[in-house]
Amino acid sequence: MTNLAQFVEALPKVELHLHIEGSLEPELMFELAKRNNVDLPFKSVEEVRAAYQFTELQDFLDIYYQGMGVLQTEQDFYDLTDAYLKKVHSQNVIHTEVFFDPQGHTDRGIPFETVINGITRALNDGNEKYGISSHVIMCFLRHLSEEAAFETLEQALPYKDQILGVGLDSSEMGHPPSKFARVFARAKEEGFKLVAHAGEEGPPEYVIEALDILKIDRLDHGNRSLEDAALTQRLKEIQIALTVCPLSNYKLAGVTDMTKHPLRQMLQSGLKATINSDDPAYFGGYITENYLAVVEALDLSKDDIITLARNGIAATFCDTDQKVALSKKLDQYLQ
Ligand code: HPA
Ligand code: ZN
């Protein structure tokens, strides 16, 4: 391993774009299928991995929604979340802000409370066991209706102390942020932080809608913003963070060659980019592998890596004291 790779591995990192259902490894998928008597259309772990060939977002989403069908009980959601934390603890993640997709479960008859209680119990235990602090962000599935998103928001209100923010994910094309203008306005009134996937597959106009109409606090992906010079300038001026997911982009979003990944241009344009894993069980790597993919392909320097790590801390939804504590861990490592 190179010095730089060792540096990245041991670097205290934060993760801001991680779908907990996307951390379901095939081994756990089989274990839960057995536990819950769910039939899987695969015979082996190898067969599952072989099915993970995607040419676009929708190919992935189809198999991702199918995979989450094994998650049934609160303990399943606990085990899923604990497995993720255990893994990223080994990669020196010190803080994570975890997405979940309630509608992917409630639409299968799993109660909202089963999902949120399993996830937050594991996160609370993980804070003790692994020293990883965390927040939870609930995403609306944008291919479903505005009405369904409103129902989901209503279901979340009793769990406001466990859910810090709301986001928007799933099939981007044809489902612009404006479709959820009223839901996000309501979520803002309720005090939730706001994020949205935009510019992953969708055009720069979707990013502009996420800013102007949804009034997001942080932008998930945002890659295609670079096609619009005025938008790029605006993202620089407002210093909104972008949660970039290199291996996801390689698997889904038309980055055919990591050396052409837009991260370099983002950094050169003064955008506040961060590195994240998105759906690590499906895209071939957790946060360290995502850092390493761009470090190698884009020939990033140690200073670039430190900038990315600092951007991550600055972009968390932590309060000032928590951010100072996270920065201290990073500074201690750098000394
Ligand atoms: N994009 C959109 N929706 C998602 C993703 C993604 O990368 N992962 C899980 N849901
Ligand atoms: Zn995502």
Distance 168 CA to ligand 1 centre (A): 9
Considering every ligand atom, which ligand is closest to the CA of 220? 2
pLDDT of residue 2: 82
Strand partners for 197: 220
How far CA 174 is from CA of 171, 218, 233, in Å, comes to: 8, 21, 26
- Beta strand spans in the chain (E): 13-19, 93-100, 133-141, 165-169, 193-198, 218-221, 241-244, 272-275
d(CA 82, CA 63): 22
Determine which residue's CA is closest to atom 3 belonging to ligand 1.
170
Distance 220 CA to ligand 2 centre (A): 7
Considering every ligand atom, which ligand is closest to the CA of 171? 1
Distance 17 CA to ligand 1 centre (A): 10
Distance 288 CA to ligand 1 centre (A): 19
Does the 2-327 domain belong in CATH 1.25.40.10? no
Determine which residue's CA is closest to atom 10 belonging to ligand 1.
170
To test the pocket of ligand 1, the residue of 279, 282, 283, 290 to mutate (highest count of ligand atoms within 8 Å of its CB) is 279
DSSP notation for 11-30: S-EEEEEEEGGGG--HHHHH
| Ligand 1 pocket residues where CB is under 6 Å | 19, 22, 57, 64, 169-170, 197, 200, 248, 278-279
To test the pocket of ligand 1, the residue of 221, 278, 282 to mutate (highest count of ligand atoms within 8 Å of its CB) is 278
pLDDT of residue 147: 98
Catalytic residue among 172, 200, 201, 209: 200
pLDDT of residue 253: 74
pLDDT of residue 255: 87
- 3 state SS for 254-318: CCCCHHHCCHHHHHHCCCEEEECCECHHHHCCCHHHHHHHHHHHCCCCHHHHHHHHHHHHHCCCC
Distance 93 CA to ligand 1 centre (A): 21
Considering every ligand atom, which ligand is closest to the CA of 61? 1
**Tens digit of pLDDT per residue, the chain (335 long)?**
789 999 999 999 999 999 999 999 999 999 999 999 999 999 999 999 999 989 899 999 999 999 999 999 999 999 999 999 999 999 999 999 999 999 999 999 999 999 999 999 999 999 999 999 999 999 999 999 999 999 999 999 999 999 999 999 999 999 999 999 999 999 999 999 999 999 999 999 999 999 999 999 999 999 999 999 999 999 999 999 999 999 999 999 778 899 999 999 999 999 999 999 999 999 999 999 999 999 999 999 999 999 999 999 999 999 999 999 999 999 999 99
Give CA 109 to chain center in angstroms: 24
pLDDT of residue 137: 99
User: Catalytic: 200?
Assistant: yes
DSSP 227: G
